[in-house]
A and B are shown apart, each in its own frame.
Chain A
């Protein structure tokens, strides 16, 4: 069991640059989630996928943010024209939703983004 992995673990970029993060979920998990966590706060939901379909997006996800999950496997989160306010930990989680009404989400180690 390799768990949820994220790459890179740390990213430092200059304001205005584009960045892309990758998340590899636990094998055979059909749901994948992205959260953002700023210092001293709990994680906040950004978006989630069931297989390759993006089912919900938070209002936190501005037009500069885009997420994909091609073929229902790994996912990428891209931030265009980064701003200093984008500095945060970006967390990915995955789960398997079967017959049960709810699923247990397993989190990755996160990608810490610093925008200078």
Chain B
């Protein structure tokens, strides 16, 4: 059974800092890995998707990496802004089913 862990559970940083969020998983037989953003009480917004054959994806100030052999992914956020404050979730697509397995998320607060 795939287990997904996200560390840290919560993070507070001052505006302008670069930061890294971590995601680890137990089953390396994945199809892809996605990072999502969730604002309080809202649905999920997909940020980046990395196929199993890829090692990283970039979108603006966001960069996500994938290392299947070690069962790890990182989400790097450059020059953080207060608008980045949200919960960030990683999710993996594994096996023959199309269901996503999510981590518990990292709650990020960027302060002025």
Contact = CB atoms under 8 A, between A and B. Distances in A.
Interface string B38-79: 000111111001010000000000000000000000000000
Interface string B95-109: 001111111110000
Interface string A57-94: 01000000000000000000000000000000101010
A58 B97 CA distance: 11
B68 to A, nearest CB: 15
Contacts of A104: 34, 46, 49
In this complex, the interface size class of chain A, counting residues with CB under 8 Å from chain B, is 20 to 34
Contact of A42 (B4, B46, B97): B4
A43 B102 CA distance: 6
B97 A107 contact: no
Nearest to B45: A107
B7 to A, nearest CB: 14
B32 interface: yes
A105 B101 CA distance: 12
A97 B91 CA distance: 18
Interface of A: 4, 31, 33, 35, 40-45, 48, 56, 58, 89, 91, 93, 95, 97, 101-110, 112
